[in-house]
Structure 1
Amino acid sequence: MLTQAVTARPRSTGFLNRTLQSNGITYRYQVYVPAGFYERKGKWPVVLFLHGAGERGTDGLQQTQVGLPASIRKHMERWPAVVVMPQCPAEQYWTMPAMYQMAMTALEKSTREFRGDAQRIYLTGLSMGGYGSWKLAATYPGKFAAVVPICGGAILPAVLKANDAPNPTLYGQFAQAIGRSAPVWTFHGAQDSIVPVTETRQLVAALQAAGGNVQYTEYPEAGHDSWTAAYDDPALPQWLFQQHLPRTGK
């Protein structure tokens, strides 16, 4: 007679495939779940990562190869968090409402599925995702405990090239919307030939003028790839996970 209990299969951790429906369209995304997740009780911090233009597509994989996901593979011990990685389709941008709404849907689904802590939800992105990070931080003030935009901005490079005098008030609008809702640590390379470093400089100045909590790291010799140095800096996750929104209720 069989008396031994059947052992349950271990639940998966690592980079996991997921899908979601948004506005009638199916999108693939990935969620990184740390090893030991199921052995530890309680809620977990959650990071929403927005990739750059080069990782756009529909395979649900490209966005895991560059930036924060690449740093996680090298330094898993530094990133004890659930990391949500949506993918923006070709020809789309994170600053488009349909795209940032899709990203927020992926974040909400993952927060529910993986015991996310609403007081420790963080936002970061690189290049096009840096633009998306500024946009989402301004659109959803009070949602994120901290924001880390890397080589992003407010006005897209194509607009800057096509118009010698783009609307300069947009920097102030972003800064006023973000205000003191979340601390910001932003990064940019001084030699960036894709996104002008002036984009980050102007946003930092506007946020300082608005009374925001912002710190800025500019790499003097770096070009567009300022994200590798930023995500590989152990000081970044140490700072990030110290930030949290005020607890409400009992």
Structure 2
Amino acid sequence: MMNRRQLLAASPALLTACAALPPTVPDGLAAGEQRAWQLAGERLWLWLPHGYAQRRERWPLLVFLHGSGERGTDLGQVKVHGPPRLAAAGADYPLVLASPQLEAGVRWEPARLHRLLQALQARLHVDRQRSLATGLSLGGHGVWNWACRHPRDLAAIAPVCGYGDPGAVPAMREVPVRAYHGGADTVVPPARQQACVDALNAAGGRATLTLYPGVGHDAWTPAYQDPGLLPWLLAQRQA
């Protein structure tokens, strides 16, 4: 048995050892699998990478926001497009992927996404300086608005066939953007997203827009197959 003096002397070493322990997988989840989960009142799919519970280094976090057609109560709809679809098909993402679902008729609200991000950061072994967001259509609009309202939340965004408010984007000048759009999109004309990209660059930010000639609103298929997207996301970190 240690006496009080010995215990106090050993405490810093014990605390350091505890802090270095690998993370545990929350109940209901599994590393290397995408599973349905509930957190902070939200229903979502969550992918934990292989090695989640073995690596002491914190993982990047990617939040995916679906489009208007995937709203409702069937969580399976969220896996119709984008990263959750690819994860279900066997993609081995080296990050934590969170894909929440909106109720019917509801839009992505920055305050709601901010609360969800805080809950994810508190519960999971993720790097707060490497929180990322992507989304398509309504979700692309959601990530633009989220970054404008809470620019310190995100290290980078990758909106697909989305748009924001060009007058608001200077507030997110520190958030890099890699955007995608179909050149023949008549649902969300590419000029709407181009205006946001131009406004961000004019404000001193860093933004690019990849246009797919002849592609309509379905820019997400080529966008999420872009071999440069994932390495770009993984390279982003807040200062």
Inter-partner Cα distance in structure 2 for 1:110 and 1:61: 21
Aligned match for 2:30, one of 1, 9, 12: 12
Select 1:113's aligned residue among 123, 133, 142. 123
Distance in 2 between the 1:233 and 1:68 partners?
12
Q: 2:99 matched to 1:85?
A: yes
Note the residue ranges of structure 2 that are not aligned, 5 or more in a row. 1-26
Aligned to 1:160: none
Give secondary structure in 2 for the equivalent of 1:234.
Answer: coil
Deviation of 1:27 after TM superposition, in Å, equals: 3.4
TM-score, length basis structure 2: 0.82
SS in 1 for 2:153: coil
- Which amino acid counterpart does residue 34 of structure 2 have in structure 1? F
2:61 paired with 1:51: no
Q: Which runs of 5 or more structure 1 residues have no equivalent in the other structure? A: 1-8, 155-169
CA distance in 1, matches of 2:205, 2:214: 27
Tell me if structure 2 keeps the 8 A contact 1:84–1:106. no
Find the partner of 1:211 among 204, 216, 239.
Answer: 204
Structure 1 counterpart of 2:159? 149
Cα deviation, 1:222-242, whole Å, max 9, x if unaligned, reads: 111111111111210011101
Distance in 2 between the 1:74 and 1:48 partners? 18
AA in 2 matched with 1:245: Q
**One-letter amino acid of the counterpart of residue 187, structure 1:** Y
Partner SS state of residue 48, structure 1: strand
Measure how far apart 1:111 and its partner are: 2.2
Residue 243 of structure 1 aligns with which residue? 236
1:179-208 deviations in Å (ceiling 9; x for gaps): 1x1111100001112111111111111112
Q: Distance in 1 between matches of 2:135 and 2:96?
A: 15
Instruction: Give the aligned CA root-mean-square deviation in angstroms.
Output: 1.9
Corresponding residue number in structure 2 for 1:229: 222
CA contact (8 A) 1:63 1:87 kept: yes
Structure 1 equivalent of residue 168 of structure 2 = 174
Q: Which amino acid aligns with 1:204?
A: V
| 1:33 has 2:48 as partner | yes
- The alpha-carbon distance between structure 1 residues 73 and 211, as it changes in their structure 2 partners (threshold 3 A), is same
1:212 Cα offset (Å): 1.0
Cα distance change of structure 1 residues 56 and 128 upon mapping to structure 2, 3 Å threshold: same
SS in 1 for 2:75: coil
Does the Cα contact within 8 Å between 2:113 and 2:146 map onto a contact in 1? no
Alpha-carbon distance between aligned partners in 2 of 1:65 and 1:106, rounded to the nearest angstrom: 22
State the one-letter code of the partner of 2:138: M
Residue identity (%): 36
**Corresponding residue SS for 2:98:** strand
Contact 2:42–2:116, Cα closer than 8 Å, also in 1 = no
8 A Cα contact 2:59 2:95, kept in partner: yes
Return the alpha-carbon distance in structure 2 between the equivalents of residues 109 and 44 of structure 1: 15
Q: 1:150–1:186: 8 Å Cα contact kept in structure 2?
A: yes
